[in-house]
Amino acid sequence: MAGPSPELDARLARIAGRLALLAASDRELKVFGAAGHRWQLEPPLDAGELAAVEAALGAALPAEVAAFLTRIGRAGAGPYYGFVTPAPPDPAAWAGDQEVAPRPAAPFPFDAEAALEVAPATGGSRYDGTVLLAHQGCGYVSLLIVGGPRAGEVWADFAAAEGPLAPEAPSFLTWYEGWLDDALLEWARDALPAIAAARAAGGPTVAAMEAVAPLLDARAEAPSADLRRSLGYLRCYQGRFDDAEAAFDRAAEVGTQEPEARRRLDRARLRAAAGRYADALDEVAAGLATPGLWYATRDALLGERQAALFAQGHRAEALATMDLRAEQTFFDVALHHALAREHLADGDVDAAAAVLARAFRLGIGVPRPTEVEARRRAAYDGLVAALEAEARRRGRRAGAPRRRGRGGVGGRELMRGAAAFAIVTAALGGGCGGAAAVAVRRRRRRPARSAPPAPTPATGAASPSSSSATTPGARTSTTPAPCAARCTLTPWSAGGARRRAGSRARTVATSS
């Protein structure tokens, strides 16, 4: 391994800092692949472990790869579903395949993109001189070149869809740094609207914005609606409202998915950030008048109307909008719970009970709404548990009589906890009957149940995104099964295992 390099040291320090920033910012694990690696790295290799890896490969690792593995981490958070420790291929995975097992120490046979049918001029395997670096999903993989003059480069293999073997990045660190930038921009795309609104309301600055700003500034002219919208929210965060509006208009010029409705949504948020709530409501009305809205866009517009009405003190209208949003969602029960809380805050237990009864009746948040017990758990248990926890945090048991006025310890939150069982009993009385109500009252005596699986989004105009999350064990990463019909597992994928009927995800053990 090469000696110390100030430039390499600086790059590794920046990588470690950026990774820590993403881990602190993306707490909900919304960035692609984060649900699997959770922004965690496995411990670095020591010198003996590195020597063992290189001995197994029969080739020395590129200097920057060796430095990363011994100073940052051996596997874990990285592009796609995370990177794995370099290791020689498993011969058993290639047995019976028309492709012979690759030899990592042999020279890599290509200098340019190679179609699947192109055979190496030198004979042997088209994957000679490579080791698996990352699973991209759908059977595609990223490979690290360790043999021949192109050692250190990263190439992508699309053989699973009968695609080529093609260059992906000139070096490992460039590959990794590019992913960090893209991941930060992906996080910012979803987080910036709320961050900009909070900042306009006097909230704190966000450390990640110092890293996001130069990335967006450098891409200001890119013909991407997402990037231009993100730039608009950055300008809003910076208090540059005119520049923000110009960015939103430019995003609509290149957008292909509801450009006008999304421009109205962006402008509504901008008006609200400037305290112009009446203008925000006008923008929302114009956006809602757009024909053929996706569910997600319509709900976001209604959410802005709800927030603007609350800000203007029009509570009854805001609650009516909130009720409309809750009635139209079948994906999760959070809106119903939030609306029930608002009614409880007003002391209206009957209205709260009606909201939860509707969630129960419609089976919101339940994959099989015919299962009564699952519907009950989804509609009530989460809210009841939260209300009880809030009461306990104030040193009081849920349901205990209040000893202070609404302004003291306990106050309105304790009232919510005291009313929780009345809500459940009233709502279930018209839906499940007495047995279910008794089951609710006895819920603390039963073992805890696991949460029901997330529902499959309804078909139609909605455009929700989803990712499969698993609890990561030691040295594992989550890789989706190849797309049906058009993708085929290669020996790189899951150690050569072939597709299993009904499989949606699998866990691939990385090498130590």
Look at residue 361 and tell me if it is in a domain.
yes
Look at residue 156 and tell me if it is in a domain.
no
Q: Contact at 8 Å (CB) between 418 and 402?
A: yes
Q: Contact at 8 Å (CB) between 366 and 452?
A: yes
Look at residue 376 and tell me if it is in a domain.
yes
Residue 84 CA to residue 37 CA, distance in Å, equals: 11
- So what's the pLDDT on residue 362? 85
Structure tokens at 74: 């051996």
Give me the domain span that covers residue 433: 332-456
Please state the pTM of the whole predicted model.
0.76
Residue 80 CA to residue 138 CA, distance in Å, equals: 11
Range 17-27 burial, b when 16+ CB lie within 10 A, else e: ebbebbbebbe
Structure tokens at 166: 């093609």
Look at residue 2 and tell me if it is in a domain.
no
Task: Provide the residue-wise pLDDT of the chain in tens; the chain has 512 residues.
Answer: 555 689 999 999 999 999 999 999 999 999 999 999 999 999 999 999 999 999 999 999 999 999 999 999 999 999 999 999 999 988 888 876 666 789 999 999 999 999 988 888 777 889 999 999 999 999 999 999 999 999 999 999 999 999 999 999 999 999 999 999 999 999 999 999 999 998 877 877 788 999 999 999 999 999 999 999 999 999 999 999 999 999 999 999 999 999 999 999 999 999 999 999 999 999 999 999 999 999 999 999 999 999 999 999 999 999 999 999 998 887 779 999 999 999 988 988 888 888 988 888 888 878 766 678 888 888 888 887 887 777 777 665 444 444 433 333 233 443 444 344 444 444 444 443 333 333 333 333 333 334 334 433 333 333 333 333 333 333 333 333 334 444 455 777 645 333 322 322 323 333 33
Size of the chain, expressed as the number of residues it contains: 512
- So what's the pLDDT on residue 425? 45
Residue 241 CA to residue 106 CA, distance in Å, equals: 58
Structure tokens at 171: 């070096």
Closest CA to 479 of 223, 160, 235, 182: 160
Residue 415 CA to residue 509 CA, distance in Å, equals: 50
Look at residue 451 and tell me if it is in a domain.
yes
How many separate domains does the chain show? 1
Look at residue 447 and tell me if it is in a domain.
yes
- So what's the pLDDT on residue 137? 92
Structure tokens at 310: 């609350």
- So what's the pLDDT on residue 449? 37
Look at residue 352 and tell me if it is in a domain.
yes
- So what's the pLDDT on residue 455? 37
Look at residue 289 and tell me if it is in a domain.
no
Where are any strands of DSSP class E within 247-405? none
Closest CA to 453 of 334, 383, 368: 368
- So what's the pLDDT on residue 331? 76
- So what's the pLDDT on residue 488? 55
